[in-house]
Structure 1
Amino acid sequence: MLTRLPSLLAVALLWLLHLLPLPLLAPLGRALGGVLYRFGRRRRRVADINIDLCFPELAAAERRQLVREHFALLGRSMLERGILWWGSRVRIERLVRVRGEEKIHAELAAGRPVILLAPHFLGLDAGGVAITMRFDIVSIYSTQTNPVFNQVLLAGRSRFGNQLLLSREDGVRATVKAMKAGRPFYYLPDLNPRRRDAVFVPFFGISTATITGLPRLAKAAGAVVLPCVTRILPGSAGYETTIGDAWPDFPGPDPVADAARMNAWIESAVRTMPSQYYWVHRRFKTRPEGEARPY
């Protein structure tokens, strides 16, 4: 119990903070981000390297400002998660606006399984909760090493409706079955995979380890792919989740080309809000054989 006390205290503090109105909570989150930027040297270094690699056209001062803004929004996303986990339905509906929801309804009504392609932007959890307030979905989660946060995270992501959260060990078959039964799949594709599971395709002009899970799942389930991006809005305006049109001619005959197409789309989305991508993740850790790791 004593070993869990710091985690329990952190969760209790997050619960208390979620009671604050967003105009007060948002600047507190940005201040937390400033602390993380100042003292989280390891993660700051990862973000520095990522942004240097992806935006060489920017001046050094612009890249450092981009990292600082990223940490400010990272702090916001951390504190505002309390609203998603414990806030009322009415409050979350005010916090997160969803555009394009009708596209999901139309595909499901036509009997087509749906994959919601949701890259790792900082608003990812806000979009996920907003989707679960409207649909019973299937999603895959990674078990957290901290049991307290793991329990809170699972409860927060499944508090509305009848959600199906599968671990990575549950495999592809259960996911495909759920999609065929009418559950949209909230799919997060862009974390660094092991070399044996990856192909190397461009992302910001860098040969990047990428899984071919999206075309394989779309083919296995006969699913359409709808892009799903959640943006943190300026000030205390909340979040906006946008559902795009179904990708035509996807999957194609070549899963490597499909993975490259996915990365190109993610890159185009990142360029519309570069401070909101999850830059503290070592996206370029896995390298082609013989190539040095940047971290």
Structure 2
Amino acid sequence: MDTPRFRRSFLHPRYWLLWSGLGLLWLVSRLPYSVLLILGRGLGGLIYRFAGSRREIARRNLELCFPEWSQTQREQVLRENFSSGGIALFEMAISWWWPTARLRRLAHLEGLEHLQRLQAEGTGVILMSFHFTTLEIGGALLGQWHTIDGMYREHKNPVFDYVQRRGRERHNRDATAIEREDVRAMLKVLRAGRGIWYAPDQDYGRKQSLFVPFFGVTAATVTATSKFARLGKARVVLFTQQRLADGSGYRLVVHPPLEDFPGESEEADCLRINQWAEAAIRQCPEQYLWAHRRFKTRPEGEPSLYRRD
């Protein structure tokens, strides 16, 4: 995709409110990291109180995935999850606008040698991650050391799309933004020995999915990871990220390339992906994006698992 460019139409009055909001966010992002964490938790508390439908979706997901927990434990994680979501707004801001040297100090990176080795071999990499609230800053921090191409879906608001792409692409000057539906371009990049960020842990419907367990619940799971790895002649590398409780930043781990993947069947591959996702989520369940209806698509004849589907 082309480099994002500023257009005069972005100055139209209909965008003034958005520009004002972004400007305020930019100013707030200048504050110390410890203060931004406090503000984020406060914002998350407000969202928890007023975002009723999303709160109920997250609560239901926790009930389904952690039935062994007490209700008190699930409610505590639920509240922490919304706090993490509030922090994510400010993480987005510092990812886009903090000076590189300041941003880099937040990263505690492990396993970079795995990406470097595959790059030296000219092997394409599917950097498999999952939808944590730290997704935005995790990608920005990794981009300080290694270029990763990204799957991209254009935002409906052109001003926000411009600001978002500018903020993201400053960390990967030679990276390629690939339209999410452009499979041909993705395979071309993989065969050229580059790395692409990819997250297969959401419900994208039954068309490109198989039903396999996720936390013991049947879930529509995309088969694209296996297909991309096979057709792109690429290795799959798991990338996990976690906001550290001591406020020192983020633990980022690039794991060794997955062995025997793709495997004997797409169903087995999907099950392995879900098991990897489960293991990553159990490390910091409060930081996962529980407000997504992960179990929305059901096998034929099964009722909805959500109260308002």
Q: What band does the TM-score fall into relative to the shorter chain?
A: over 0.9
Cα–Cα, structure 1 residues 6 and 41, in superposed 2: closer, same or farther, change >3 Å?
farther
- Amino acid across the alignment from 1:140: M
1:30 paired with 2:60, answer: no
Aligned residues of 2:130 and 2:200 also touching (Cα < 8 A): yes
1:148 paired with 2:159, answer: yes
1:105 paired with 2:116, answer: yes
Cα–Cα, structure 1 residues 10 and 293, in superposed 2: closer, same or farther, change >3 Å?
farther
In percent, how many aligned pairs have the same letter? 39
1:165 paired with 2:177, answer: yes
State the Cα distance separating 1:2 from its structure 2 match. Answer: 4.1
Aligned residues of 2:91 and 2:136 also touching (Cα < 8 A): no
Q: What is the rounded CA distance, in whole Å, between the counterparts of 2:76 and 2:253 in structure 1?
A: 27
1:119-166 per-position Cα deviation (integer Å, ceiling 9, x unaligned): 111111112112222233221122223333222222221112211111
1:39 paired with 2:50, answer: yes
The number of equivalent residue pairs is: 294
Q: How does 1:109-188 map to 2 (within 5 A)?
A: 109-160=120-171, 161-169=173-181, 171-188=182-199
Unaligned runs of 5+ residues in structure 1 are: none
Q: What is the rounded CA distance, in whole Å, between the counterparts of 1:143 and 1:49 in structure 2?
A: 30
1:267 paired with 2:278, answer: yes
- Amino acid across the alignment from 1:225: V
Residue matched to 1:209: 220
Deviates more, 1:172-181 or 1:3-12: 3-12
- Amino acid across the alignment from 1:173: R
- Amino acid across the alignment from 1:80: E
1:16-36 per-position Cα deviation (integer Å, ceiling 9, x unaligned): 111001011110011000010
Q: What is the rounded CA distance, in whole Å, between the counterparts of 2:24 and 2:250 in structure 1?
A: 23
- Amino acid across the alignment from 1:139: G
1:31-80 per-position Cα deviation (integer Å, ceiling 9, x unaligned): 00001001111111111111111111111111111100000111111112
Q: Of Structure 1 and Structure 2, which has the larger fraction of its residues in helix?
A: 1
TM-score between both structures, scaled by the size of structure 2? 0.91
Q: Secondary structure at the match of 1:195?
A: coil
1:207-251 per-position Cα deviation (integer Å, ceiling 9, x unaligned): 101111111111011111111011011142111210011111111
State the Cα distance separating 1:14 from its structure 2 match. Answer: 1.2
Q: What is the rounded CA distance, in whole Å, between the counterparts of 1:111 and 1:2 in structure 2?
A: 48
Q: Secondary structure at the match of 2:105?
A: helix
1:241 paired with 2:252, answer: yes
RMSD over aligned CA atoms reads 1.4
Q: What is the rounded CA distance, in whole Å, between the counterparts of 2:264 and 2:164 in structure 1?
A: 38
Deviates more, 1:253-262 or 1:178-187: 178-187
Aligned residues of 2:208 and 2:224 also touching (Cα < 8 A): no
